């Protein structure tokens, strides 16, 4: 399960956003509060100073307009007395000055600054106030005390005439100290409230993020195929309803996953156990799925097939494109035959597409058609051979019968030979039909083996002696038989027919003075019988075909000797029915050897009488 980074966690993000919102709100409130507080305190301070200035202004105006007698104090003394009284009443006022319209300082409330009396004021604010007949105020920084001072300048008017101006320097530093104290209290309150807010925000964030974290872990577990976990439902609000819906979704996905997995296993089992090959492609014609049967038929490995074009895999790139295969309705024969063996596959194509008609790909079903092609070819060859074998005697019989019908029966010299030929051809056709019936019964398993236990050497010797006694050629029989008894369970009639047929063929093709050899050996739980001749032999390419129906190594000689071409085919069926095998070895010009095996059981001494 992938671990989420600390700052990427929704829990941390939620708390950080919550804190940032609180900080922004507090900042906005603090700035607004501080600005309003500063403005209010300064306004109050200014108004207080102005109120005092108005009182001072009234007293100073009266003093300046007063008519004096010789006994009265000078204006400077009267003004100094008035200013000193106001200065002592309020500690906030640092200094009060009275300046006449000619910018001369008439009086000051500060004893240390009495030397300035009579001098011209150099303050620009005083000059502007007198010239404009307006009040001005400003805040200056006193470098000697390191404190801020508010300077108020107010003209003294008498009937629209400036008779002087009043200069007041007030200590406004106390206002700023109050502001700083209030700001510190506000900052402490903000920090305290922010701490409480963070703690509350963490708990609130957990309330919202815990279900989301549970659902995240559940989603990750579901992605790994684990559907057993369930999301805890913490309430009946939207998050609780989402958790319930998520658990329901988990159950539905688990059921769908189980169904899909079951169907996938069924499909995989079907594909793996199909004898036919199945290939699936994507919409671009590249192989995306192939079963083992198809790999075996194409004789390739899976890594060489996947993601390759289907036309290349099937060897159709020269004749078809993928778009052509989509339009193919009939199956296509794939010929992979070599010089040594035929190999033919048949491919059937089926298009997979969505409901909208969009083509998703192709499903190709491969069927090994080699055996069917062989069967069809053998069937055609069989019909042709039967027709040929029947046509030859029928043509001969028709010729002789036509000759007899035209009057040859009256000729005592040729009529008997004509009838003899007709009779021989008739018997030959009867043998052919009988052999065909035997093969037909063997093919349909409509026969039974009447088996019995016999000593094979004695049985084999009796057949050899019968041929040796009745043979007409100058052919020598050579026997290589063991001295021990070999008991086999066989149908003696059918096995006699097999051996008769093999020996008859050996005698037919053996030259005068040649040898026919007989041998019996044992190999495991089988006996191996050998019958060999010194005849013409069979070409190597045709050795395995001598057991095919109607095959003849020398057709003219076999037909002249009355053979049907079915003897070895019948022999093969009978040997196979006994649980053995039969094959031939031959070298052209040096003769042929027929081998066949039969199962046998070794018997302990005294078991047989």
Structure confidence at residue 596 (pLDDT): 92
412: left (phi over 0), alpha (psi -120 to 50) or beta: alpha
Per CATH, 11-179 and 274-364 having the same topology is answered yes
Cβ proximity of 201 and 229 under 8 Å: no
Structure confidence at residue 530 (pLDDT): 92
For the chain, the structural domain boundaries read 11-179, 274-364, 374-443, 452-599
- Give the closest residue to 323 by CA, choosing from 354, 289, 361: 361
- CATH number assigned to the domain with residue range 274-364, chosen from the 4 options 3.40.640.10, 3.40.50.720, 3.40.50.10160, 3.30.450.20: 3.30.450.20
The token pair that represents 462 in the structure block:
């009796």
The token pair that represents 565 in the structure block:
């071409």
CATH class of 11-179: alpha beta
- CATH code for residues 452-599: 3.30.565.10
Structure confidence at residue 556 (pLDDT): 44
Per run of 10 residues, the mean pLDDT along the chain (length 609 residues) is: 52 75 82 83 82 78 71 70 65 79 82 79 83 83 78 83 83 82 84 82 74 75 74 74 81 81 79 81 88 86 88 87 85 80 85 80 85 71 65 74 78 77 75 67 66 90 84 82 88 85 85 88 89 85 74 51 64 86 86 90 53
Find residue 477's DSSP bridge partners: 516
CA-CA-CA-CA dihedral for 567, 568, 574, 575, to nearest 10: 150
Distance CA 458, CA 147 (A): 146
- CATH code for residues 374-443: 1.10.287.130
Structure confidence at residue 598 (pLDDT): 92
């Amino acid at each position: 399960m992938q671990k989420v980074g600390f700052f990427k966690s929704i829990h941390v993000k939620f708390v950080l956003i919550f804190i940032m919102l609180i900080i922004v709100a507090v900042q906005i409130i603090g700035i607004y509060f501080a600005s309003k507080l500063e403005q209010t305190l300064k306004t109050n301070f200014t108004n207080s100073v102005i109120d005092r200035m108005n009182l001072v202004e009234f007293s100073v105006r009266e003093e300046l307009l007063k008519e004096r007698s010789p006994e009265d104090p000078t204006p400077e003394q009267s003004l100094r007395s008035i200013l000193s009284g106001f200065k002592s009443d309020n500690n906030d006022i640092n200094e009060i000055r009275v300046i006449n319209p000619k910018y001369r300082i008439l009086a000051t409330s500060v004893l240390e600054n009495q030397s300035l009396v009579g001098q011209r004021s150099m303050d620009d604010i005083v000059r502007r106030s007198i010239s404009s007949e307006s009040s001005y105020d400003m805040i200056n920084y006193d470098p000697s005390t390191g404190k801020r001072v508010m300077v108020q300048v107010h003209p003294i008017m008498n009937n629209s005439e400036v008779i002087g101006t009043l200069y007041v320097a007030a200590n406004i530093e106390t206002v700023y100290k109050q502001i700083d104290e209030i700001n510190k209290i506000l900052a402490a309150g903000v920090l305290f409230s922010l701490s409480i807010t963070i703690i509350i925000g963490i708990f609130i964030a957990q309330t919202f993020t815990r279900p989301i974290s549970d659902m995240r872990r559940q989603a990750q577990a579901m992605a790994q195929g684990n559907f057993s976990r369930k999301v805890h439902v913490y309430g009946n609000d939207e998050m609780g309803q989402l958790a319930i819906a998520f658990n329901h979704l988990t159950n539905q996905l688990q059921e769908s996953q189980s169904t899909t997995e079951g169907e996938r296993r069924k499909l995989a089992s079907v594909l793996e156990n199909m004898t036919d090959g199945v290939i699936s492609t994507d919409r671009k014609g590249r192989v995306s799925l192939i079963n083992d049967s198809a790999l075996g038929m194409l004789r390739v490995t899976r890594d060489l097939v996947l993601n390759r074009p289907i036309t290349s895999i099937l060897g159709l790139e020269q004749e078809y494109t993928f778009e052509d295969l989509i339009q193919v309705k009939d199956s296509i024969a794939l010929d992979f035959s070599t010089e040594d063996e035929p190999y033919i596959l048949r491919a059937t194509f089926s298009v997979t597409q969505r409901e909208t008609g969009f083509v998703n790909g192709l499903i190709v079903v491969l069927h090994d058609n080699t055996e069917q092609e062989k069967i069809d070819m053998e069937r055609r060859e069989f019909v042709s051979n039967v027709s040929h074998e029947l046509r030859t005697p029928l043509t001969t019989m028709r010729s002789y019968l036509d000759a007899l019908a035209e009057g040859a029966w009256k000729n005592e010299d040729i009529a008997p030979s004509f009838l003899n030929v007709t009779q021989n051809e008739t018997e030959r056709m009867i043998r052919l039909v009988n052999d065909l019936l035997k093969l037909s019964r063997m093919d349909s398993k409509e026969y039974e083996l009447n088996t019995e236990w016999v000593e094979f050497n004695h049985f084999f010797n009796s057949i050899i002696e019968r041929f040796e006694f009745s043979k007409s050629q100058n052919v020598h029989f050579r026997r290589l038989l063991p001295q021990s008894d070999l008991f086999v369970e066989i149908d003696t009639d059918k096995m006699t027919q097999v051996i008769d047929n093999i020996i008859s063929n050996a005698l037919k093709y053996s030259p005068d003075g040649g040898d026919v050899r007989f041998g019996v050996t044992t190999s495991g739980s089988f006996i191996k019988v050998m019958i060999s001749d010194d005849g013409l032999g069979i070409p190597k390419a045709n050795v395995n075909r001598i057991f095919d129906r109607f095959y003849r190594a020398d057709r003219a000689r076999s037909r002249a000797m009355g053979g049907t071409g079915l003897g070895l085919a019948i022999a093969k069926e009978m040997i196979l029915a006994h649980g053995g095998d039969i094959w031939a070895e031959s070298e052209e010009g040096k003769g042929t050897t027929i081998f066949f095996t039969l199962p046998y059981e070794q018997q302990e001494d005294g078991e047989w009488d």
